Amino acid sequence: MAERIRTLLLVCAPLSALSYIGPRELAVALRWEGYSRISNAISELQLSGSPTKSFLDPWEGWVYSGLVAAFGLGVWLSADSRWSLRGIAIAMVAPLATAPLWALFGETSLAAHIGLVLIGIGVWLAAMVLGAAAFGKRFRIYTLVTLAVVVVSSGLALSYAPEVAAGLPTPFIGLDERIAFAAYFLWQSVLAAILWRTGRRRLATPARSAG
């Protein structure tokens, strides 16, 4: 029973990615014809006055957040005594604590918005650094490549801050952000698969030795 619960919690990793990406794609398709996935920032979809905010806020606040928290619990239950996995579990849940800050300060100034973005990216990077320490060489290499992709793509997106402040075009900000999100979400799902597989192996070991 405990293993079944752990497995269901780990499945929340890819489900959380789908719950983040899917509603945004649907909102753009149905409600914002002029939005460009290449040149418009992801955050624009939830700014006050946007035609997609009322549709996306419930998903962000309840479905996505709940799935991320559930996955964090699944990682914690998979940790045994490994401090690195416990750190990842905390990092998964930590960004949820910034939700009130986004509500209060996310639109007050560009500096506040960027500050909150940097907190989120920092938590991502912390989770990946801990993940690199948790498993073998192949996952470590994959994690470091993903970390590099997230850093470069996020850096390119943030480099448009002067253009955003001046109301100028931002030709690739949306593309850069989406690459970073996709890389991190994929890493989460791979981590979940590894945790599920290692848990199954751990359960099977006593059965083999008993036979």
Hey, where are the domains in the chain?
2-210
d(C-alpha 175, C-alpha 156), whole Å: 10
- pLDDT tens for the 211 residues of the chain, in order: 788 899 999 999 999 999 999 999 999 988 998 999 999 999 999 999 999 999 999 888 889 999 999 999 999 999 888 899 999 999 988 878 888 888 888 899 999 999 999 999 999 999 999 999 888 899 999 999 999 999 999 999 999 999 999 999 999 999 999 999 999 999 999 999 999 988 666 555 544 433 3
Q: What is the DSSP letter of 63?
A: I
> Which amino acid makes up residue 177?
E
Chain CA centroid to CA 20, Å: 9
* 125: its two tokens: 């990077």
Element (H, E) at 208: helix 173-210
Contact 71, 12 (CB under 8 A): yes
Q: Go through the chain and tell me how many residues it has.
A: 211
What integer pLDDT is reported at residue 201 of this predicted model? 61
Chain CA centroid to CA 113, Å: 17
* 78: its two tokens: 């998979």
* 195: its two tokens: 């945790």
> Which amino acid makes up residue 32?
W
What integer pLDDT is reported at residue 96 of this predicted model? 81
Q: Tell me which residue has tokens 């045994």.
A: 80
Is 49 in a helix, a strand, or coil?
Answer: coil
What integer pLDDT is reported at residue 209 of this predicted model? 38
> Which amino acid makes up residue 100?
P
What integer pLDDT is reported at residue 200 of this predicted model? 60
The answer to whether the predicted template modeling score (pTM) of the entire model surpasses 0.85 is yes
* 87: its two tokens: 């750190």
What integer pLDDT is reported at residue 99 of this predicted model? 83
